Copies of this chain bind each other. A is one copy, B any other.
Amino acid sequence: MPSAAGRGQGPERDRRPESGEQPDYAKERYGVSSMIQSQEKPDRVLVRIKDLTEEKADEVVWVRGRIHTSRAKGKQCFLVLRQQQFNIQALVAVGQHASKQMVKFAANINKESIVDVEGVVRKAHQKIGGCTQQDVELHVQKIYVISLAEPRLPLQLDDAVRPEVEGEEDGRATVNQDTRLDNRVIDLRTSTSQAVFCLQSGICQLFRETLIRKGFVEIQTPKIISAASEGGANVFTVSYFKSSAYLAQSPQLYKQMCICADFEKVFCVGPVFRAEDSNTHRHLTEFVGLDIEMAFNYHYHEVVDEIADTMVQIFKGLQERFQTEIQTVNKQFPCEPFKFLEPTLRLEYREGVAMLREAGVEMGDEDDLSTPNEKLLGRLVKEKYDTDFYILDKYPLAVRPFYTMPDPVNPKNSNSYDMFMRGEEILSGAQRIHDPQLLTERAQHHGIDLEKIKAYIDSFRFGAPPHAGGGIGLERVTMLYLGLHNVRQTSMFPRDPKRLTP
């Protein structure tokens, strides 16, 4: 239990400043608590800052929060106490409860320290601009430091949430990406980071909620694998006892095995590893894959429709449940609300190519889309159809992996698709070949060593239902939904060729 210095049972660390000559009538009302080591189970209730509203006016409450800012002014000290995305102004003023020494103590607590405060909730005379709790302030009667922060912070939270444009126009400080990532524990405390990752948690939740409602089963697939399934490029090697192994580039093979094992509709959420030396705004060496695989009856569009509807349910759920978080992020990174159609717009690849050609792009029928052309097409689609989310269907067979089912009518095409948000790819998928003979032929056509994919092909020898699926990149969905510009903003601890820490 936090208490005035001298009462605690743990190691004593009274950092109280010298109190000078005057007797301190408030000396029991402030101090540095002994470390909370679970000494006691007090029945004190700590109230959440977000619950401090006018309804609580004149109540005495206990609050735990961080010192966000402090400003001493004569016999008063104004603190802003922060708790996640919420904050409130607290006033320590010389008077009945607080001595001069206590005000000085409060003013000297390092920013980001965690404190327990007892105070009276008072209606504010005017709206308090800088705080989320604008209508009330807290008149402090007791204040104890629970965990002291070091005096010098590697970055200032207020700088870290400043819109770049303000930094550029007014010459005010902003924080660069490497400083943020090097000091992620502090950067993640900003209202923007809190909002981004609460929303990301929501994406996972909505993804799974929707699929479980649709009858899907969650599976867990191994990340250490014995053979690099897709040719062996871009794969990390692991030393495995006296031998070696690889990190899975996708759960593809295992999802398909589950389909062959009659689970019918499966999904998984887990890390995916790519040893690509790409230093772009949208590549990570480790990211979170939201993967789906599903047996269908007669046409892979049954699966495309399910995936597209799952995305729509995610978008709707975010709108409904995460409006606060979206607005918080928008304050720092202004962005148009995300638009989508229901049902989702599905264009054929050749239609996309035609739109690009009309806009002046020269490309062949079987060329893959470059990143700039993807973005351009996204803008053209937005203009024409007013949607930030659409499906591009029937990719040329030549640009897809060997296990992609060819189109039954035009053998140059395939039953495959990508999905896009704000002009960037977030999902790639296809009907997979479920016939071992055709699969063998296509692997040979791609020059793949059949011996290496024997176990994969053998999975289809004992009756395999037609099936399709796809993999979604979680960090990309978060980034593009919020209109952010770098996938490192939506990965808590990003991994790229140059970053392995923290």
Contacts and interface: CB of A to CB of B under 8 A. Distances in A.
A225 B500 contact: yes
Chain A interface residue bracket vs B: 35 or more
A323 B97 CA distance: 61
B226 A301 contact: no
A147 B465 contact: yes
A239 B409 CA distance: 45
A262 interface: yes
A236 B226 contact: no
Contact of A408 (B37, B112, B285): B37
A128 interface: no
A105 B198 CA distance: 58
Contacts of A149: 461-463
A252 to B, nearest CB: 13
A40 B197 contact: no
The number of times this chain is found in the oligomer is: 2
A257 B245 CA distance: 30
B198 A38 contact: no
Contacts of A201: 217-219
Interface string A144-157: 00111110010000
A431 interface: yes
B39 A408 contact: yes
Interface string A41-74: 1101010000000000000000010100000000
Given A217-B197, A224-B495, A241-B497, A258 B37 contact: no
The residue among A40, A198, A238 with the most chain B CB atoms within 10 A of its own CB is A238
Lowest 10 A-B CB distances belong to which pairs?
Answer: A188-B261, A149-B463, A226-B500, A201-B218, A36-B466, A37-B408, A149-B462, A38-B299, A39-B408, A112-B463
Given A38-B301, A150-B462, A221-B493, 17 more contacts: A37-B405, A41-B301, A44-B298, A46-B297, A64-B465, A149-B462, A150-B461, A193-B261, A208-B208, A222-B286, A238-B239, A240-B500, A241-B275, A269-B269, A271-B271, A455-B502, A459-B502
